[in-house]
Amino acid sequence: MNGLLVISQFIPLLGFLLIFLSDRHEQKIAKISFWCSHALGLSIAALLLLWAHAGFPNHEYEWLTLYEADDYRFPVLFYLDKVSAVYLFCAWAIFSVIVKYCRVYLHREAGYKRFFLTIFGFLFGLNMVILSGSIDMLFAGWEIVGIASFLLIAFYRHRVQPVRNALRAYTVYRFCDIGLLLGAWMSHMLFHESQRFSQLATLFENPAMPPAGYAALLLLSFLILIAASGKSAQFPFCFWLPRAMEGPTPSSAIFYGALSVHLGVFLLLRTTPIWTYHYFTRFIVFAIGLLTVVVASLSEKTQSNIKGQIAYASITQVGFMFMELALGLETLVLIHFLGNAFLRSYQLLVSPSIVAHLLRVEGSADTGFYITNSSRFRSLPASLRNTLPEVLQNTLYVFSLQEGNLELLVRDALWEPLKRIGAALNAMNPWLKLLNAIGFFALVLLIIEGLGTSTQYLAIPISIFMVFASLSAFSQKHSPFKVWNAVGLSSILAGVAVWFLNPAASSDILLFASGIVPAWILGLIVLARLLKHENFADSPFAYRAMAETQPKLALLLFLSFLGLVGFPISPAFLGEDLLLSHASSHGPWFALPITIAFVINGIAAARVYQRLCMGRPAELNVVVEETGAEAVQSVQASNVLRPKDSPV
């Protein structure tokens, strides 16, 4: 069983590597995806049969220790129980259908190889989340799923709207990382070596002796709810999921109809002993689900496209799952998850055929064609909406059109204040900023010497400069070099601040820097080569489609972006966890600013990659300007630009 756990985890990674090393020939990619999906199905079937033969135990397997230093340990830990078994089966079943569907659906698509690379990477991260035995390993898979979502939403990268919506979704994901990062930190601090999912239930067996105080468990529960609500598009983050439907229909089916949208539910199922310990957090979960059901069910009525309606229908069902979890109906949630995942995946896959069928029927009709004119609907009673007063009907209609103004609310509450602070910092003269920094630092040194206190308090001004550097990168609109340098500086300052808190952590800080510094330098080199003929002095850096014109350099920039934000392929991923661990033992106050800085850095670096590498190639823009719409259609017909899921 242990070997099958490892095989089930790494077959998607093998498929990813084989597709990456192959050429762009569709038949080779289709064969690799076919055999890898079948091999994965056999391994999962054998695993589940052995698990059932053993009597459905809660099975834990520690494969190896990835890193160990002093009292910190990061094991590669697998855990199989009824929750992971249900999710694992559903993931394989839907993934195999999507692979078979896409082998034909994406025929002659320019991004054929890129699509299969991304969905295999997504499945690798998803399996890591499902089979994770600790919150640290879950967070690694969580990050992989997030970056795969970002790439698939922006799959049709020639169009501006998918690219913008990809950044919107990634921004919500990164904000939710605050909850998961701080949750991992608190689990280390509160539970020490008992943060494994298999041990959570035993920690709460005695109600009279909880493993932590009420306030600590309440804060940890709120952090978990932030992560779960954002990932599953629950209130107040309902707005991003319909916009994520800009990607290809199969990716919408596997991500936002079936699997990714239910990961928030999975997180709540995994951490049930924590957030169900008090009735107040149960009530919060129930309220989030109820508000989501109300907002999403109303917004669905005014969607002008099928995929948007299905997205809100899926959000509504996940809201019901939140309510069921709050009531303690875990088994019902698993059944509900299976039904909703398969149904939404089917609806999304057949949606293009439904649209084409209705257009053919409308074109063949002699008179006006309205679906609601069918005699089948004439005998239905009046809906509840029609029985309301006209003023209330209009109010609900406007509320639905605006989707409850949730996006505006989240933007004004979270991002606009940060942008204003960053813009004010960027507007300052560089020499004035340097003098202010030196003066502030000298003042802190004088205070420390005057009071005779420890130099660890120097971490306070350094952490402030760290956050300021992140905000500067977040608000920078003109120079990608300034953004990149500000992100790198912020990360280095995080390591320096932790060193002042705990000088004995030098080796762990060097591990963190070994991922940040090479990625920082590589990014600067790539940016210099990409932009040697560009000038950003007067206008913001816009979409330049360098993934099309300079694919190798764009790939290097993407890898440096992943390293700079602490993606799981980089030592900086472990370094972030180590920094938070040292902060928790010597200065718990430092966990919040360092997490905020890491989250903002990820958004700023992603925007640099997005603006430079995505968009419409310059030669296509010239064709559009010179010859108009007919030229666009001819270029699209030659597979330079041929999005399947959007009108020309």
The answer to the question of residue 626 being in a domain is no
Under a CB-based contact definition with an 8 Å cutoff, are residues 99 and 33 in contact?
yes
Per-residue pLDDT tens digits for 528-554: 998 886 655 445 567 888 888 889 999
3-state secondary structure of 247: coil
For the cut 80, the answer to whether the pLDDT of residue 436 exceeds it is no
Per-residue pLDDT tens digits for 288-339: 999 999 999 888 888 878 888 888 999 999 999 999 999 999 999 999 999 9
Measure the CA–CA gap between 595 and 91, rounded to whole angstroms. 31
pLDDT of residue 535: 59
354 with 446, same domain: the answer is no
Weakest-pLDDT range from 234-248, 266-280, 615-629: 615-629
Name residue, tokens 């956050």. 467
Weakest-pLDDT range from 186-195, 441-450, 463-472, 506-515: 441-450
For the cut 90, the answer to whether the pLDDT of residue 496 exceeds it is no
For the cut 50, the answer to whether the pLDDT of residue 65 exceeds it is yes
347 with 421, same domain: the answer is no
Weakest-pLDDT range from 77-86, 267-276, 351-360: 351-360
Name residue, tokens 């539910």. 265
Element housing 289 (H / E): helix 279-300
The answer to the question of residue 97 being in a domain is yes
Q: In whole angstroms, how far apart are CA 429 and each of 461, 477, 561?
A: 20, 16, 28
pLDDT of residue 96: 92
Averaged pLDDT of the chain:
83
The answer to the question of residue 627 being in a domain is no
564 with 497, same domain: the answer is yes
| Region of residue 425 (left: phi > 0; alpha: psi -120 to 50; beta: else) | alpha
Q: What average pLDDT does this structure show over 339-364?
A: 80
Most confident of 318-332, 409-423, 488-502: 318-332
349 with 442, same domain: the answer is no
pLDDT of residue 605: 94
341 with 418, same domain: the answer is no
Q: What confidence tier does 515 reach under pLDDT thresholds 50, 70, 90? A: very high
Most confident of 195-204, 260-269, 539-548: 260-269
Residue bearing the bigger pLDDT, 542 or 139? 139
The answer to the question of residue 463 being in a domain is yes
| Polymer length of the chain | 648
Measure the CA–CA gap between 75 and 62, rounded to whole angstroms. 7
Question: For the chain, what is the radius of gyration of the CA atoms?
Answer: 26
For the cut 60, the answer to whether the pLDDT of residue 636 exceeds it is no
298 with 420, same domain: the answer is no
Q: In whole angstroms, how far apart are CA 27 and each of 24, 30, 260, 354?
A: 9, 5, 28, 28
Name residue, tokens 């694992």. 88
DSSP symbol at 588: G
Residue bearing the bigger pLDDT, 621 or 506? 506
99 with 181, same domain: the answer is yes
CB-neighbour burial class of residue 158 (10 A; exposed 0-12, middle 13-18, buried 19+): buried
For the cut 90, the answer to whether the pLDDT of residue 355 exceeds it is no
The answer to the question of residue 377 being in a domain is no
pLDDT of residue 380: 40
Q: What average pLDDT does this structure show over 507-523?
A: 93
343 with 458, same domain: the answer is no
Chain CA centroid to CA 546, Å: 24
Q: What confidence tier does 381 reach under pLDDT thresholds 50, 70, 90? A: very low
419 with 345, same domain: the answer is no
pLDDT of residue 643: 42
Which residue segment(s) compose the domain that 154 sits in? 2-358
Q: In whole angstroms, how far apart are CA 133 and each of 81, 136, 199, 226, 525?
A: 10, 9, 10, 21, 39
Q: What percent of the chain has pLDDT over 70?
A: 86
pLDDT of residue 513: 92
Q: What confidence tier does 215 reach under pLDDT thresholds 50, 70, 90? A: confident
Weakest-pLDDT range from 302-311, 358-367, 430-439, 572-581: 358-367
pLDDT of residue 24: 79
Chain CA centroid to CA 614, Å: 19
pLDDT of residue 394: 80
Furthest C-alpha separation in the chain: 91
3-state secondary structure of 435: helix
Q: What confidence tier does 177 reach under pLDDT thresholds 50, 70, 90? A: confident
Q: In whole angstroms, how far apart are CA 331 and each of 318, 322, 559?
A: 15, 13, 41
203 with 281, same domain: the answer is yes
Domain final residue, candidates 320, 340, 358: 358
Q: What average pLDDT does this structure show over 596-616?
A: 91
* Count of the separate structural domains present in the chain: 2
Name residue, tokens 């690219």. 163
The answer to the question of residue 375 being in a domain is no
The answer to the question of residue 621 being in a domain is no
351 with 267, same domain: the answer is yes
Q: What average pLDDT does this structure show over 147-170?
A: 91
Weakest-pLDDT range from 222-231, 239-248, 396-405: 396-405
pLDDT of residue 440: 66
Q: What confidence tier does 280 reach under pLDDT thresholds 50, 70, 90? A: very high
For residue 18, what are its two tokens?
Answer: 């084989």
For the cut 80, the answer to whether the pLDDT of residue 195 exceeds it is no
Chain CA centroid to CA 8, Å: 22
Measure the CA–CA gap between 616 and 626, rounded to whole angstroms. 15
297 with 438, same domain: the answer is no
The answer to the question of residue 586 being in a domain is yes
For residue 377, what are its two tokens?
Answer: 């609907």
| One-letter-per-residue 3-state SS of 304-353 | CCHHHHHHHHHHHHHHHHHHHHHCCCHHHHHHHHHHHHHHHHHHHHHHHH
Measure the CA–CA gap between 28 and 455, rounded to whole angstroms. 61
Residues 6+ apart with CB under 8 A from 335: none
Measure the CA–CA gap between 126 and 138, rounded to whole angstroms. 9
